[in-house]
Amino acid sequence: MSEAPGPRHVRGVADLIIVGRIRTFDPVRPLAGALAVGDGRILALGEPHDLDGLRGPRTVVADAGDGCVLPGFVEAHGHFVADGLGAAGGVVDVRPVTAPNAEAVLAAIDAALATRPETGVLANGWDALLQPGLPRPGLDWLDRRAPACPLVVLHNSGHLAYFNSAAARQAGLDEHPGEGFGRTPQGTLDGTATGPAAIGLLTAPFATALLGPGFTTAMAAQSARLAARGITTMSDMGFAPAYRPALEAARTAGAIRTRLRLYEPATPALASAVAPGAGDDLVRQVGIKVWADGSPWVGTLAATFPYLDTAATRALGLPPGHRAAPRYDHAELAEIFQAYGGAGWQLACHANGDAAIDLALDVWEELAPPPAGWPRLRLEHVSAMRQDQFARAHALGVTCSLFPDHLHHWGEVLADELFGPEVAARWAPAGSAVRAGMRVSLHNDSPVTPADPLHNVSVAATRTTRRGRTLGAAERISVAQALRAQTADAAWQLLAGDVVGTLAPGRYADLAVLPADPLAVEPEAVAGLEVLATFLGGVAVHGGLPRHRGHPRTLGKDHR
């Protein structure tokens, strides 16, 4: 048996020493028995007696007991601001996770219409696939429900919105509002909108209230919710520049206690008002978000295979054999990639279907120089990506972020109602990605599903649906691989791997403490592990650890 490596440290006196079983996800020293923190960063890792020289009169020594210390979790594809605003009450939450059936959805919307007739109602989370019995809410239906009050209902995917006539007037829409708005056979607006630009026009009138005095409180609550799940870093995939002043004010007030990596949506201007990397280690803008296709749940996934002809697809209004096209042709996507990529931005390209993925890889192969040391192109969700596409992407220096919770929530829908069991078995194919040699992340795309890294890890390792069905066992990955995809590899994807994601000297002391080692429990049990404490820069932002009553030396190597 090889001897454990010696202590790794930098100079300084520790503010905090944590003793216990520490999984670093640093290949130099994967396990340690103690960790020292000074000025927010890790000073040293080793066995408890190794850190004696870092103790000072004010050093606090905390005991993780039988628990396990991990790097703080990283949500590599989320929507920090939108998630926080949605939970703050300004948006009516009708997501399947909170409103499990059609009756609950309609009751929540009606209650809001009764209490907010002047301000209008913005609701989020409509999903007829998971909330059976919901109608297809055309303009006439919405107008009957809300004749005078502006009403906008966002689909849970974020790729479709329904609106009434009052909302159209509030948004200043005329008969020629631009692309993304559905039409009746007579050519009038039908009350549907698709794509970020069209949906943004409808939601913009609500922004003033959402970005008002309650914004700081909402962001503080959002950070607290994430900390309770052990999350210390999160992206905002679709960060609207209009949010920037309010976010800065919230930060100044001390409300932002999550490291944020911002991705601004691509616009026709093909430029941003800020430079790549603007910000600091707490809040930094690193990328641009592009949508190559839409959502499987509304019929806009661009794939080589068709949607099934079922009652569910007919309810979505999809004809037999339906296949959606990508949002861009080759020349259009190349122009976007070239403009933003050439300016130094990392590109995050939403691509659910394999046809959209082929398009993105074709464009990237045409434009990109040899792979760099950090990922310049990310592909998001890649729900139906093929093994050959992963191999090609990896050779081009492309990385992917996957959404395993699709399987948990929509597994039966995928297999029985939309695409069939063969497609469902290779949905969110993390196994294929890992076999290709790719470093990947896992995500929840919150608020689509709640940010919950341990649940993601469990689903990726078991591929079990909410009804207990296993889909595609060959695409399972190990708990260790899934944890890397929620820590070290996710941080690397966000261009933050030099400061977070692993526990090593010089990194920030962003930590999640669990009651047990997740590698020592069954994969299905990982989702049930509680987060005992979360630290951001060595400061507890959730829970806490008891002080050790004796000298750190007395813990010896028992916690290894």
Domain count, the chain: 3
Q: Say whether both 281 and 143 belong to one domain.
A: no
Q: What is the pLDDT of residue 212?
A: 82
Q: Which of 183, 210, 237 is the last residue of a domain?
A: 210
Q: Report yes or no on 230 lying in a domain.
A: no
Sign of CA dihedral 174, 175, 180, 181: positive
Residues in the chain: 560
Residues 178 and 94 in one domain: yes
Q: Residue 553's pLDDT band (boundaries 50, 70, 90)?
A: very low
CA distance 12 to 50: 14
Identify which of 175, 170, 234, 181 has the alpha carbon closest to the alpha carbon of residue 208: 170
Nearest to 76 by CA among 427, 357, 372, 444: 444
Tell whether 468 and 513 lie within a shared domain: no
Domain check: are 197 and 331 in the same one?
A: no
What pLDDT is attached to residue 2? 33
Residue 415 belongs to some domain of the structure? yes
Q: Please report the sign of the dihedral spanned by the C-alpha atoms of residue 518, residue 521, residue 523, residue 529.
A: negative
224 part of a folded domain: no
One domain, residues 284 and 376: yes
Question: 226 lies in a domain?
Answer: no
Q: Which two tokens stand for residue 195?
A: 């794509």
Give 265: exposed, middle or buried? Use CB within 10 Å, 0-12, 13-18, 19+: middle
Average pLDDT over residues 59-74: 96
- Residue 184 and residue 64 share a domain: no
Domain end point (choices 443, 461, 493)? 493
Pair 473, 430 in one domain? yes
**Mean pLDDT throughout 163-170?**
93
- CATH number, position 531: 2.30.40.10
pLDDT band at 547 (very low <50, low <70, confident <90, very high): confident
Give pLDDT tens digits for 79-138. Answer: 999 999 988 888 999 999 999 999 999 999 999 999 887 779 999 999 999 999 999 888
Say if residue 350 is in the same domain as residue 488.
yes
**21 phi, psi to nearest 5 deg:** -85, 120
Residue 78 inside a domain? The answer is no
SS3 196: helix
- From edge to edge, which strands make up the β-sheet containing 399-402? 73-75, 231-237, 259-265, 283-291, 346-351, 377-381, 399-402, 440-442
What pLDDT score does 558 carry?
A: 40
Specify the DSSP class assigned to residue 462. H
pLDDT at 362 exceeding the cut of 70 = yes
Q: Would you report the helix, strand and coil content of the chain in percent, each value rounded to 5?
A: 35, 20, 45
- Whether residue 399 contacts residue 378, with contact meaning beta carbons closer than 8 Å, is answered with yes
Mean pLDDT, range 29-42, rounded to an integer: 97
Give pLDDT, residue 177: 79
| pLDDT digits 0-9 by tens, 144-163 | 999 999 999 999 999 999 99
Tokens of 235: 């992206």
Query: Are residue 268 and residue 397 in the same domain, yes or no?
Result: yes
Q: Note whether residue 180 is domain-resident.
A: yes
Portion of the chain with pLDDT greater than 90, in percent: 83
Question: What is the average pLDDT score of the chain?
Answer: 93
Q: What is the pTM of this model?
A: 0.92
Q: What does the pLDDT look like over 306-351, one tens digit per residue?
A: 999 999 999 999 999 999 999 999 999 999 999 999 999 999 999 9
| Antiparallel, parallel or unpaired: β 31-38 and 41-46 | antiparallel
Domain co-membership, 95 together with 67: no
**Is the residue at 147 inside a domain?**
yes
Domain span holding position 414: 262-493
Please indicate, yes or no, if residue 225 is contained in any of the structural domains: no
Least confident span in 138-142, 298-302, 355-359: 138-142
